[in-house]
Structure 1
Amino acid sequence: MERVEPMPPSDEVAARADAYAAAPLLNCLIRELAQPCADPEGRRAYRLPGGRLLRVRAGRRPAGPEVHTAGGWRRVGHTELVKLVAEELRRHTGRANDELSAEMIDSREAVAALLAARERAAPPEDPYIRSEQSLVTGHPHHPAPKARGGGPVASWLPYAPEAYARFPLVLLAVREDQAVEDGDTSALDTLGQAPPGYRLLPAHPWQLDLVGDALAGAFADGRLLRLGRTAFETRPTAAIRTVHAVGADLFLKFSLDVRITNDVRRLWRHDLLKLRRTDAAATAAFARAGGPAAWLSDRGYRTAAFAFEELAVVVRDGLERHTLPGTTVLLAAALAEGFDGNPLDGPVDPALWWAAYLRQVVPPVLAAFAGHGVVVEAHLQNSLIAVDASGLPVQALFRDAEGVKLLPETGREDGWERLVYCLVVNHLAEIAAALAERHPGFDPWPAVRGELSRHDLPEIPALLAAPALPGKTNLLLRWTGADGAAARYRPLPNPLTGEPGRAAP
């Protein structure tokens, strides 16, 4: 394993970390609390609930925040911005939340550590892995997208995808009478050799560090054995707790007892118990849809009865069996974030490229919903795009059965709202903004409207005519301590209406 040791960031790295951390926090503040107002100097200005005026440099990643004082506009750094946001939230909600304020600071410190580590590490040669490990900003509308649970940098940096980490897995063996599994987990048995009477159980080393004390009894009485480490290294993907084993053409998803964005990323029992049903529904929906789109199946899980959630591992399909020959798979979120090898940086015809992208991404998600009652959470981090040698999108791949919702147990209206948020607001709007940023004057939204209009869903006409789209309120969700799965939305101007001046979400 290549260890990535933390180093104090330089002044230049510190300034970049401030900018990286401020952008998503400003996006949240602007989306969830602020009201636009005029600025004679032409910047984007907003009135906050307490009456203060804030302005930023325009763009999909707002920068250079300033607040208005008696002496004029004054620049605020990230620490002061966190304080300002906390004050506005207390005023708006009547509640305090020191935990989230600490997470926002932790997120900025994590970004600084990641930037310093990236300067000393070589990026992976594989463009797919490079795209998975590119998300230094992360979720563009979350107040603390890079918070890592408040632990010391040395505890998590060796496992951070953004630091180009790679590491072997820890191999455990669980006694057969204590092993619990569902679905096809046979791929796990190829990772090493368990002694007679035991089943092989790989573990993420960070998770094992986090929960190791609770397992002391199981190690002592022989329910659990340590076998060493895998002979190969894995690469963490953008999801952090999901790793890619290249040689085995396999993804493995682990529990991680750390809050990442809105949730503690443990594989919860209730999600595991319904995993095979939701995955089977998604697999069937994509198989019947036709076309090149693919679903990366979560084939099954294995764990220990005495540590059901803590030691669970999900086996997910790799890429080779699903990807069109001669193509390069890239993480959709990386197209918006930016990375070396991004096809958007090439000499593309934006209209041609965008039409091809929409043709691959939109139809399978709508078909799964309309024909099979499957709500695929097609947000940027769950979506992959395969491009040909010219960088043109030719296939979309989707993943993560844990996020799939099924009708009718999820109401159709709620399911449709979730689909629209993930696909249009979280996904298409971000890619559209990145494309428009590179090609000034290009309007991506008529093509989105045209692609949606081709599909015969009763919800489509209302979506195209609606004055607003649902924007998830991650800042307010975290501040009020709501469950991460309890999404709440704020209306955002709908650029699909075709009305002039309708800003993208």
Structure 2
Amino acid sequence: MHSMSRRNFSYEELESEIWEGHPYHPCFKARSGFSLGDHAAYGPEARQSFELQWAAVRREYARIELLEDETSFWERELGPSMFGQLLADLQHIGKTIEEYTFLPIHPWQVKLANADADIVLLGSSGDSYRSTQSVRTLWNMTNPEKAHVKLSMNMVNTSSLRTLDTHAVCAAPHISKWIADTVEGDPFLKDEASLVILKEYAGISYHPEEEEPCAKFGAIWRESIRLYMEEDEAAVPCTALPLMERDGFPFIDEWLKRYGIEKWLKRLVEVCVVPVWHLLAAHGIAVEAHAQNMILLHKDGWPTRVALRDFHDSVEYCHDFLEEPNRIPEFAGIHEQFKKGREDQYYWMSSIESLRELAMDTLFVFHLSELSYVLEEQYGFSEKRFWKLTGEALTEHLSCYPELIFRNYLLQHTAPVIYAESLLKRKVQKDEAGGFRHYVKNSLR
């Protein structure tokens, strides 16, 4: 039974209770490979909790990317008791920690584990988890301050196969550190915007060579937003902002009535849009800031700051546009797959236009356009006014940083038309020359 309103739900509950998916997507919530039983057991809307399946994998076929000592990592993540139990289980089957490491597997994915000497199932144990909106990313129900765990799943959710590429798993901690260090070194992002970067700080993948670059089994650990929330702050996924509740009013109705639509909207743009654009214009780093990758922090509905996440396969840069190219992770040393990578294949793009496309398509077309539509439909607040305020906020910010005006000019964010991803084509077609994209009118023009 669904509640008439989700407005008072915790952040974690919202991650599971937001059933609408990507509403702008013509095939949102389309999970290929899930049975009715799978939906009931592992779909976020079913509200079921479960333990992770643990396996021992031979180190020869495991890629482990940590920015710390491995034993310290396991003791902190699992706790001494569970880590000790896994070591005992390993010893019981005649294996050693020198030969094997541990890997969590989504219980739905276990059926793909063909037991052999290279991967040995150890059973289900540890904390209880629940699925978030993305299905494959799980939040820790036992202790919400602990990491969200993203696990490889051989299923298609919306348009994408939800496996984890081994090279992306390996790159995740380095990309997170790069972005977090960049924010830390920028006075505006660190002090004024207080931008939060939810770091993907660890990754492990099991990858027999014949299965490169995509592995059936992999995991990424990502920081919980609760590590950054102040005592009087609350958090909501940005996917909640344009949603309608069962009581017939938008999720944000009480906030808009309390502060006024225009005042609240200006603050939202200041908090959510300006830092993302500053990261791009000032540093040359484009992030995929659609609503599912952003978390709004607020105090009684008043936006305070934003958190960004999910960087392992959705960050782009153009070398000539980077402000600090010496900060780029040494991708060729992280994974051999990157050594043969071409421009526009992984993270490095051939043009500044590619960066604009990623940033504007996700943040404006696939995120804020949903909110602008709801404000006009429900309150008569015109979309034209919405985008005028958004453009003015960017202009005002750039006026405070004249050194960014030329760099921002190169981004051409007020071009008459911009590219948007062709989501339906991507769902129903295997390939298309030039990629799945088309032109749309630019509301910031």
- TM-score interval w.r.t. the shorter chain? 0.7 to 0.9
Residue of structure 2 in register with 1:466 after alignment: 415
Q: How far apart, in 2, do the equivalents of 1:425 and 1:459 lie?
A: 22
The equivalent position to 1:356 in structure 2, one of 267, 291, 295, is 267
Q: How far apart, in 2, do the equivalents of 1:257 and 1:473 lie?
A: 23
Q: Determine which structure has greater relative contact order: mean sequence separation of CA pairs < 8 Å that are 6+ residues apart, divided by chain length.
A: 2
Residue of structure 2 in register with 1:403 after alignment: 314
The equivalent position to 2:32 in structure 1, one of 142, 149, 162, is 149
**For 1:448, what is the secondary structure of its paired residue?**
helix
Residue of structure 2 in register with 1:286 after alignment: 183
Residue of structure 1 in register with 2:389 after alignment: 447
Counterpart AA for 2:225? L
**The structure with more radius of gyration:** 1
Counterpart AA for 1:328? A
Structure 2 unaligned residues grouped into runs of 5+: 320-347, 399-403
Counterpart AA for 1:296? L
Deviation at 1:404, TM superposition (A): 1.2
* Stretch of structure 1 that moved more, 316-325 or 328-337: 316-325
Deviation at 1:463, TM superposition (A): 4.7
Q: How far apart, in 1, do the equivalents of 2:371 and 2:169 lie?
A: 32
Question: Given that residues 66 and 203 in structure 2 are in contact (C-alpha distance below 8 angstroms), is that contact kept between their aligned partners in structure 1?
Answer: yes
Q: Deviation string for 1:221-270 (max 9, x for gaps)? A: 3x433333233211211111011115152111111111112221110123
Q: How far apart, in 1, do the equivalents of 2:412 and 2:368 lie?
A: 14
**For 2:104, what is the secondary structure of its paired residue?**
strand
Q: How far apart, in 2, do the equivalents of 1:383 and 1:339 lie?
A: 20
Deviation at 1:159, TM superposition (A): 0.8
Counterpart AA for 1:174? V
The equivalent position to 2:241 in structure 1, one of 317, 335, 353, is 335
Q: How does 1:62-461 map to 2 (within 5 A)?
A: 118=1, 126-176=9-59, 178-184=61-67, 186-189=72-75, 190-191=77-78, 192-193=82-83, 194-195=86-87, 196=91, 197-198=96-97, 199-209=101-111, 211-212=112-113, 215-216=114-115, 218=116, 221=117, 223-246=118-141, 247=143, 248-288=145-185, 289-290=189-190, 291-306=193-208, 309-339=215-245, 342-346=251-255, 347-348=257-258, 349-388=260-299, 390-401=300-311, 402-408=313-319, 409-410=348-349, 411-442=351-382, 443-453=385-395, 454-455=397-398, 456-458=404-406, 460=408
Q: How far apart, in 2, do the equivalents of 1:473 and 1:451 lie?
A: 28
Deviation at 1:156, TM superposition (A): 3.4
Residue of structure 2 in register with 1:495 after alignment: 443
1:467/1:178 CA distance change after superposition, 3 Å:
closer
Deviation at 1:420, TM superposition (A): 1.0
Deviation at 1:123, TM superposition (A): 8.0
1:286/1:265 CA distance change after superposition, 3 Å:
same
Question: Given that residues 449 and 464 in structure 1 are in contact (C-alpha distance below 8 angstroms), is that contact kept between their aligned partners in structure 2?
Answer: no
1:445/1:167 CA distance change after superposition, 3 Å:
same
The equivalent position to 2:426 in structure 1, one of 454, 459, 477, is 477
Residue of structure 1 in register with 2:333 after alignment: none
Deviation at 1:174, TM superposition (A): 2.7
Deviation at 1:395, TM superposition (A): 1.1
Q: How far apart, in 2, do the equivalents of 1:163 and 1:492 lie?
A: 37
Residue of structure 2 in register with 1:502 after alignment: none
Counterpart AA for 1:146? K
Q: Deviation string for 1:1-53 (max 9, x for gaps)? A: xxxxxxxxxxxxxxxxxxxxxxxxxxxxxxxxxxxxxxxxxxxxxxxxxxxxx
Question: Given that residues 256 and 266 in structure 1 are in contact (C-alpha distance below 8 angstroms), is that contact kept between their aligned partners in structure 2?
Answer: yes
1:187/1:298 CA distance change after superposition, 3 Å:
same
Question: Given that residues 279 and 297 in structure 1 are in contact (C-alpha distance below 8 angstroms), is that contact kept between their aligned partners in structure 2?
Answer: yes
**For 2:420, what is the secondary structure of its paired residue?**
strand
Residue of structure 1 in register with 2:330 after alignment: none
Question: Given that residues 282 and 368 in structure 1 are in contact (C-alpha distance below 8 angstroms), is that contact kept between their aligned partners in structure 2?
Answer: no
Identity of aligned residues (%): 22
Deviation at 1:345, TM superposition (A): 4.3
Deviation at 1:327, TM superposition (A): 0.9
1:458/1:188 CA distance change after superposition, 3 Å:
farther
Counterpart AA for 1:205? P
1:178/1:142 CA distance change after superposition, 3 Å:
same
Q: How far apart, in 1, do the equivalents of 2:6 and 2:47 lie?
A: 6
1:355/1:263 CA distance change after superposition, 3 Å:
same
**For 2:225, what is the secondary structure of its paired residue?**
coil
Counterpart AA for 1:488? F
1:354/1:274 CA distance change after superposition, 3 Å:
same
Counterpart AA for 1:447? L
Question: Given that residues 148 and 156 in structure 1 are in contact (C-alpha distance below 8 angstroms), is that contact kept between their aligned partners in structure 2?
Answer: no
Structure 1 unaligned residues grouped into runs of 5+: 1-117, 498-505
1:459/1:162 CA distance change after superposition, 3 Å:
farther
Question: Given that residues 356 and 413 in structure 2 are in contact (C-alpha distance below 8 angstroms), is that contact kept between their aligned partners in structure 1?
Answer: no
Deviation at 1:160, TM superposition (A): 0.8
* Stretch of structure 1 that moved more, 438-447 or 336-345: 336-345
Q: How far apart, in 2, do the equivalents of 1:449 and 1:403 lie?
A: 24
The count of residues paired between Structure 1 and Structure 2 equals 371
Q: How does 1:27-42 map to 2 (within 5 A)?
A: none
Question: Given that residues 123 and 164 in structure 1 are in contact (C-alpha distance below 8 angstroms), is that contact kept between their aligned partners in structure 2?
Answer: no
Q: How far apart, in 1, do the equivalents of 2:244 and 2:73 lie?
A: 33
Counterpart AA for 2:64? E
1:441/1:413 CA distance change after superposition, 3 Å:
closer
Question: Given that residues 64 and 205 in structure 2 are in contact (C-alpha distance below 8 angstroms), is that contact kept between their aligned partners in structure 1?
Answer: yes
Q: How far apart, in 2, do the equivalents of 1:329 and 1:310 lie?
A: 33
Instruction: Tell me how large the CA RMSD over aligned residues is.
Output: 2.9
* Stretch of structure 1 that moved more, 328-337 or 164-173: 164-173
Counterpart AA for 1:376? V
Q: How far apart, in 2, do the equivalents of 1:255 and 1:124 lie?
A: 31
